[in-house]
Structure formats: structure tokens, C-alpha cells
Amino acid sequence: MARQKTYEIDMVHGPIIKKMLAFSIPLVFSGILQLLFNAADIIVVGRYAGNNSLAAVGSNTALINLLTNLFIGLSVGANVLAARYYGAKNHSALSNTVHTSMFIALASGILLTFIGVIGAKRILIWMQTPEEVLGLATLYLRIYFIGMTATMLYNFGSALLRAVGDTKRPLYYLLIAGVINVALNLLFVIVFEWDVAGVGIATVISQIISAFLVIMCLRHEESAIRLIFKKICFNKRTFTEMIQIGLPAGFQGVLFALSNVMIQSSINSFGDIVMAGNTASANIEGFVYVSMNAFYQATISFTSQSLGAGEIKRIKKILLTAQCMVFLVGILLGGLVLLFGRELLSIYTESANVIEQGLKRLEIIATTYALCGMMDVMVGALRGIGYSFTPMIVSLVGVCGLRLVWLATIFQVEAYHTTTWLYLSYPLSWIVTFLAHVVCFIIAFGRVKKKIEGYHLPES
């Protein structure tokens, strides 16, 4: 038997906690570095270009997520399939997954660039973006979407590497790209005075660099995960399997983003000060979210590999371990963010009014964010055992539906038409959706166990 590669992790055997930490910690830092791309944009424009520029960059976040989450969801399908075939040692199917994934990444990136560049202004108008922010927001959004193909290639490539347990090299590549991004932000905004265009161009360049490094990594792999350019093609069977898992995941991401776009539209109605405070706060919260999200990613990969290897009894242990970890991370980091909220917000802006608005959001979100992480881990477990449509439906009702109902009812009452009541829709939707996912997992796991127990996928 060949010696396992240093960057790969055997998720099917041995201690779960140690291996999950080895898998998740690089993902935490990777997520933080990705956020630093956006944080660098926000901090630089907030400090050197003013509140309008800060609001213009930040108000695009929900919209960017709305337009990209469908396709990033497909990368979840690629991750699940690749991990399952890796666990089952089905090398032919794993290779097909790699090359079909790269085809989808290229196609989706080109499509998103077209949509983002052509439709930017119209979509921002639909979101009630204030007139004083609209021009800058449109410019930033168009530049950002020029780099969307690179973003898709990085996301799909990283998903494939995660499937075999490699979370370290994507971290190294993001570190390189992140340093370049920060340097270019300072150069383009402070020296060249390009305002939001400067931060947009810096972000695109950094995205291209990270995508190039991930692709070169896959090109030099020696196993079935190796990328061979001439083999990139559309495999109908692989694509069908991928969308069965990834499309519901993508739609779920779209639903989350849609509800956030609706909330962002409501925030926009309060003016640029509230928008800027919300932007800075949301960016700080993002560092907590990506730390929790690493355990969601770990749950998917560990569960998928165990399912592929026929180790069905290990799946419950994986879920319980991930839930304990994500709860501790959410409580600890959320508490730290709340404790040092004023100091953290002052990094983004010197405006006392903007800081106060940011603190209003942090007081609600930071104290309850662990619920969001626990909800996501349940989703990861369901997707890992092949149930992707179920969490999409639950999220449609529990997250998107509940928030929209909240906006249409409670928030419309004059006494509750405040940012505080607007932000309360988040924790309420998290707890309801988490409990629904728990019930769904119990039912789905019972079915999978009955079907697979005692059965192991054959080697190719």
C-alpha cells in the first residue's frame, strides 16, 4: 500500500478530534484571509475615501453572495462526490469529478461576469441603494465581477483539495494573494487615489493569483485528483450527480443571500450612516462565521469519506464532535467580538455615529452566532450522507421564509421599525432552522443506515 501523502488526511480511521482540528484550523485561517480581501477594501476606503465609499463597497456584499452562491453550491457537490469516491478508492470517478468541476468553474465564472457587469446598476437600484452611493457601488460591483472566473476556479479547486483532506496548501496560496491584495489596496487608494475602483482592481488581481496557484497545485498532483487540461470536459453523469447535491446547496445559499438582500434593502432605507455601521459590523462578524464554517466543511468531508468507505457508525461521532467544536468557537469568538466591539469598529471608521450603529448589530448577532454555526453543521451532516434537497427546503421555510415574514409583519409596526428588531430576525431564524435540521437528520440517518449497514462500496 502506498504511503499516504503529507497533505492528505485519512478521515475514515483514527481519532476524530485530532484530525478534524488538523483539517479545520487551516480552513479557519483560509476563511480569515478571504475575509481580509474584503476587510482591506472596507478599512482602506473607510479611512481614506469616506463614508459613501465605505457604504458603496459594503452594500455589495449581500448582492455578490446572491449572485455567486448558486455556483459555489455546485462546488459543495464537487467536494462531496470527490470525498466519497476518494473514500471508496474509485479513481476513475474521482478523475471525472475533477475535470467536470473545472469545466463548471470556467462556465459559471464567465456567466457571472456577464451578469455582474451588465446588470450591476439595475440590480442595485432594485435594492434601493441611495443615489449618493449608487455610482460608486456600481463601479465596484462591475470591477469585482470581472474577476469572477478566477473566484470560481479557486473555490472549485479548493473544494477538490478539501475532499482529500488538503486544507493547508489553499491556505498558503491565500496568504500570498492576501498580502498582495493589501499592498495593492494601499497603493491604488492612498497613492493613486482610485477610490473604490482601486480596491476592486486589487481584489481582482489577488483572486487571479490565488486561482492560478490552486490550479498549478492540482496540475502537479500524482493521484486521481490530478488536473490535466486536455481532460477538462462536461461529463453528463458526473454533472448529474454533482447537481443532485450541489444545486440544492446552491439554491440554499441563494435563499440565505436573498433574505440578506431583503434585510440589506431595509437597512439601506435608514441611510448611509446605518449602512456603514452595518457594513463594518457584518465584516467583523464574518471572522467568527468563517471560523465556525470550517467545521461545517469538515463535517461534509469527514461524513462523505466515511460514507464512501462504508463506515456508517462513525458518522454520528463526527457530527457530535463538530457540534461541540462549533459551539465552543461561536461562544468564545462571539464573546470576544462583543467585548472589543468598539475598538474593532474603530479600525474601520473614525465616525462615532457609524461605530454606534455597528455596536447595535454586534450586541445581537455576536451573542447568538453559535446558533448559526450549529445550524450549518447539521446541514453539512445531511449533505455528507447525500441529503441535499432536504436542508434546502428547511432553509427556505426556516430562514428565508421566516425572515421575509418578519420584515412584512413585525418590522412594519411603527414601534418595531428599528434596526434592533431588524437584526433580531437572524437568531430567531437560526434556532428554528437548527431544530428542524436535527429532526431531518435523525430520519435521514436512519434510512441511510438501514440501506448501507454492512455494505461497502467496491474498489474500482
Across 104-120, average pLDDT: 92
pLDDT above 90 (res 339):
yes
Query: What are the residues whose beta carbons fall under 8 Å from the beta carbon of 416, sequence distance 6 or more?
Result: 410
Across 90-117, average pLDDT: 93
* Total-model pTM: 0.79
Residue 437, amino acid: H
pLDDT value of residue 153 = 95
pLDDT value of residue 457 = 43
The single residue listed with the C-alpha cell 478571504 is: 34
Q: What is the pLDDT of residues 345-397, one digit of tens each?
A: 998 888 889 899 899 999 999 999 999 999 999 999 999 998 988 988 998 88
pLDDT above 70 (res 38):
no
Q: How many CB atoms within 10 Å of residue 346? A: 16
The single residue listed with the C-alpha cell 462513525 is: 314
pLDDT value of residue 460 = 36
pLDDT above 50 (res 456):
no
The dihedral through the CA atoms of 38, 44, 45, 46 has a sign that is positive
Which has the higher per-residue pLDDT, 42 or 282? 282
Across 46-52, average pLDDT: 78
DSSP-assigned letter for residue 231? G
Across 68-85, average pLDDT: 86
CB 138 within 8 A of CB 58: no
Which has the higher per-residue pLDDT, 405 or 35? 405
Which has the higher per-residue pLDDT, 455 or 202? 202
CB 150 within 8 A of CB 106: no
Cα 179 to chain centroid distance, Å, stands at 21
Query: What is the secondary structure of 189-221 as a DSSP string?
Result: IIIS--HHHHHHHHHHHHHHHHHHHHHHHHHT-
Q: What is the pLDDT of residues 214-245, one digit of tens each?
A: 999 999 988 889 999 999 999 999 999 888 88
Query: What is the secondary structure of 147-164 as a DSSP string?
Result: THHHHHHHHHHHHHHHHT
Domain boundaries, the chain: 16-452
CB 274 within 8 A of CB 419: yes
pLDDT value of residue 2 = 44
* Among 62-71, 280-289, 323-332, the range of highest mean pLDDT: 323-332
Indicate the average pLDDT of the chain. Answer: 87
**Residue of 257, 246, 280 lying closest to 54 (CA atoms):** 280
In the chain, the N- to C-terminal Cα span, in Å, equals 15
Task: In whole angstroms, give the CA distance from residue 444 to residue 426.
Answer: 26
C-alpha cell at 50: 469616506
C-alpha cell at 298: 469538515
Percent of the chain with pLDDT over 90: 45
C-alpha cell at 185: 489596496
pLDDT value of residue 4 = 46
Strands (E), 61-148: none
Residue 432, amino acid: V
pLDDT value of residue 403 = 86
pLDDT value of residue 231 = 94
Task: In whole angstroms, give the CA distance from residue 460 to residue 455.
Answer: 15
CB 399 within 8 A of CB 433: yes
Q: Provide the pLDDT confidence category of residue 46 given band limits of 50, 70 and 90.
A: confident
